[in-house]
Structure 1
């Protein structure tokens, strides 16, 4: 009887905790680009231009940050995209230059990836540039900002959008 009582209280406690905890597991980084962010594509990414255009998937309905191509001139870019044909095991890496600017480098794994992997990599790395870190593992299915692997979705998912709302919400 005592074991049933303990089990009952454990279940009630677990239920209360799951109700009280947020459903999102996003994690933020120190990048802050404001409501308008400008991206610049170096010539080295021109063979991948259709994939680089996935930057604008962050311009979803209700978005808190609007990304604009700075290649037309007159803008001070927040995001620089580049390609290096070296093999380091990564598809891409977003390196902050300061809290408002990030240099994203795509590598040989990106070049050799499928079109879907390239698209998702661009969306993921831009997510870092505009303020998101990797989501917690428990929420991988709801985020393009997962730490490992691909989910086949090259656009911001619910967890990513909640992270942007938390960072830039008005």
Structure 2
């Protein structure tokens, strides 16, 4: 991980900056209430990646039993292509592997080639397509990462 990166759990004090990044990144951004619901949900965790004083990105995921569901990933536009989403995903997967994670699941727009390439580099594969999933009518690709019985990713994805 880049020594300039600091990854920590989101608090309500971070909400204003998170909302700015969310608005810049998504066609159908989450509302303030949605983030507050995630902060109150014991299954949910939102990890933030900071570079200096700048919020570079975040990843929101639910952990239910042995499965991680990645709900929202965003990288500030000026920080894209600098390893932010990679660092967040790597950190979240490593942390959850230590506590028995067996699989991770997410949905992604087929038009988001950069995100799909990132997820594939970690060993995620497409398992389904949800038709007209997003509010603008775009489908969602459902991608899954299965882990081996030894708790390591099937493609050594965390050894980047």
User: Is TM > 0.5 for Structure 1 vs Structure 2?
Assistant: no
Higher relative contact order, structure no. (Cα contacts within 8 Å, ≥ 6 residues apart) = 1
Give the TM-score taking structure 2 as reference length: 0.29
Larger Rg over CA atoms: 1
Give the TM-score taking structure 1 as reference length: 0.28
Higher helix share: 1
Higher strand share: 2
